[in-house]
Amino acid sequence: MRYQTLGILTLFAAVACQPKETKKTMGTIERLDPALDAIVSATAQPEIIAEGFEWSEGPCWIESTKTLIWSDVPRDTIFQWSEEKGTSVYLTPSGYTGTIPRGGEMGSNGLTLTKDGKLVLCQHGDRRIAIMDAPLNKPEPKYITVVDNIDGKKFSSPNDAVVRSNGDIFFTDPPYGLPNGVNDSTKETSFNGVYKASQGKATLLVDSLTRPNGIAFLPGEKTFIVANSDHEKAIWYAFDLTEDDSVTNARVFYDATKESKAGEKGLPDGFRVDKNGNIFASGPGGIWIFSREGKVLGKIKLTEPASNCALSDDEKTLFITNDMYILRVKLRD
């Protein structure tokens, strides 16, 4: 699932030489329900807007500058793209600020914004949820820790996050960023958790998933969904919240284990939910499009594994991190 490593200078040269006007497309859109027509137009097609990355993740749209940013996790770098300026480095290092050399995937993974426009980073190398201590249009590798432990035990490698309307950050913590994964000697928790960060403290919400990954709320913020990136349990799970944020009514939202075992590239990973509750989710074979009730409306079928996606603020454009590629799908006019 990894693109052949390029030197960082080689990547910059390749990016700089890309003609801005060249449009390349890939993949197809599979329509499984008439309801998809109101979400994705008949002419929509995935378009490659950037390429040459090692493992792209965590896309985040910045409306104020009309810019997409995303993590290249192994390179410990966040890149940016805009229609006007093309592709360039946004921020590095993005996930590891230590001085002791370490292996594994050190960079940032999931990226999102607070309600007041600050960048939230899931940092693998530093094993924390952090906020960039700089304006979005003048990024610097200066970070403030939000949370980095649960009851004194360090997180493994926070992976994806969503900010609730009251400012709480819900996030997942699988072991992918540790040098030796789940068997790494530095792993301090016996489980892979789903957490809430509020007022500088982390609270464990779920400890029963094998590989919790993508996370998002359905409209109303009473239910959140977690993607489980496990070939043996390639499942999206749903959880309800009580008034005091206790988790209740845990259930399977959709099980794609059959498709995963059939050899489709990719797993349930990052996803986004639009204002109507439609879900765009990376999964086996590309991006799955669900109704809020869990009905599959269609799929964006891709040749490489999709890791995550992001919506523009008007929800008319979907951006996809697709291994070495960054894709744009103009969903409708």
Q: From the annotation, which residues make up the binding site? A: 57, 159, 213, 269
Query: What are residue 19's phi and psi, to 5 degrees?
Result: -70, 130
- How far apart (Å, rounded) are the C-alpha atoms in residues 184 and 239? 29
Phi-psi region of 104 (alpha: psi -120 to 50; beta: other; left: phi over 0): left
Distances (CA, A) of 148 to 191, 197, 284: 16, 10, 31
Residues contributing to the annotated binding site for a divalent metal cation = 57, 213, 269
Known binding-site positions for substrate = 159
Quick check: helix, strand or coil at residue 2?
coil
Instruction: Please state the three-class secondary structure of 93-128 as a single string.
Output: CCCCCCCCCCCCCCCEEEEEECCCCCEEEEECCCCE
Cα dist from 8 to 4, 5, 12, 313, whole Å: 12, 9, 6, 31
Q: Where do the DSSP E strands lie in 35-85?
A: 47-51, 56-62, 67-72, 77-82
Q: Is 133 a catalytic residue?
A: no
Query: Which one of the listed residues 173, 230, 269, 323 is annotated catalytic?
Result: 269
Own/partner contacts of 76-81, CB < 8 Å, gap of 24 or more, are 76/106, 76/107, 76/108, 76/125, 77/8, 77/107, 78/107, 78/108, 78/111, 78/139, 79/50, 79/53, 81/49, 81/50, 81/326
Rg (CA), the chain: 18
Q: Is the dihedral of CA 195, 201, 203, 204 positive or negative?
A: positive
Q: How many angstroms separate the CA atoms of 277 and 209, rounded?
A: 23
Q: Does residue 37 come out as left (phi exceeding 0), alpha (psi in the -120 to 50 range) or beta?
A: alpha
Active-site residue list: 269
